[in-house]
Amino acid sequence: MTMLTRPEGPESSDLHVTRRGFAALVAAGYAAAAVGADAAPIATPSDGLALAMVTMPGGLPGYVARPAGNGRHPVVIVVNEVFGLHEYIRDICRRFARLGYVAIAPEFFFRNDPGNSLASTTDFAVIKRIVGAAGNDQVMGDVGTTLDWLAAQPFVDARRLAITGFCWGGGVVWMAAARFPQLKAGVAWYGRLAPPKPGEPVTEVRKYPLEIVGDLKAPVLGLYGGLDKGIPASDVAAMNAALAAAGKTGSRLKLYPDAEHGFHADYRPSYNAVDAADGWSLLLAHFKANGVGPGQAGGQP
């Protein structure tokens, strides 16, 4: 098992290996490169939900979870970590669906990983190569494709759209919030904020949140860990300062002093149940405060 402590993947000093229970969790669909053998991931029941894999224009796959039956619902786009569309991301979609949302997780890496090797490989060189091939223009194009597809669905309230993402996906949230006025709110979980320093690997989207603060069109809540080895607390402070200077009063970052990178990922050793629960509560409150809550005006619950 690999201890993922940075948004771009681990360094050799980060590695910690154990095997007990590993096979069972991988067989259940969790990413082999980061799963914790002793983990007990949240398993959200699917009764009362409509679940489907869909193919959007351009061949873009996506996992959709929503309440069964008729009615239009608010939407959350869920952006994956470096491991693609694996069971943790699908379960997050089901959690949102049980709360009354339509949740969709696009598979952003499908072009360079048609066999979904991200879920099964433990070779981080392979992971970095696949993820690094997904540049900002492609990723933003896929977000746009997803928004267009959602607008045509009878179960979607297109006036209530939000986005959240984890690790690599946290950076995507910031970039999407600066690109798409359709989005009403975003929540970024420990996505890189600043460009890599000289000598660091460049494996994420090719632009970074600190470079586009003034372009934000939707308020973003950032949730970060004080023990993150790849995102220093100074970057979090710089982002908060940049948001204030740009007058983006609806956006802010919260730093959890005792949390590591990946503290929401309940299948990893980095999972911090207390901070994950607090962050989830703040996410729901942020969505609701910006009109993207189930039962709010603008659509049927």
**Judging by DSSP bridges, how do beta strands 185-189 and 220-225 pair with one another?**
parallel
| Cα angle, residue 161 at apex, residues 160 and 167 outer, rounded to 5° | 150
Of the candidates 189, 191, 255, 186, the one whose C-alpha atom is nearest the C-alpha of residue 215 is 186
Strand partners, 78: 164
- Which entry of 73, 261, 264, 286 is annotated as an active-site residue? 261
157 is catalytic: no
CA 246 → CA 37, 146, 178, 188, 240, distances in Å? 44, 29, 13, 19, 10
Instruction: Find the distance separating the first CA and the last CA of the chain, reported in whole Å.
Output: 41
Kindly tell me the sign of the dihedral angle through the C-alpha atoms of 269, 275, 277, 281.
negative
Which amino acid, 9?
Answer: G
Q: Can 73 be counted among the known catalytic residues?
A: no
Q: Which residues pair with 166 in a beta bridge?
A: 189
For 197-251, list the strands marked E by DSSP: 220-225
228 noted as active-site residue: yes
| Cα 282 from Cα 278, distance rounded (Å) | 6
Q: Residue 230: how many CB atoms within 10 A of its CB?
A: 21
CA 121 to chain CA centroid, nearest Å:
20
Query: Which residues partner with 221 through β-bridges?
Result: 187, 252
Kindly name the residue from 142, 167, 264, 266 that is annotated as catalytic. 167
Number of Cα atoms under 13 Å in the Cβ half of residue 101 = 25
| Annotated catalytic residue, options 142, 157, 228, 266 | 228
Q: Which helix (H) or strand (E) holds 236?
A: helix 233-245
Which residues are part of the catalytic machinery? 167, 228, 261
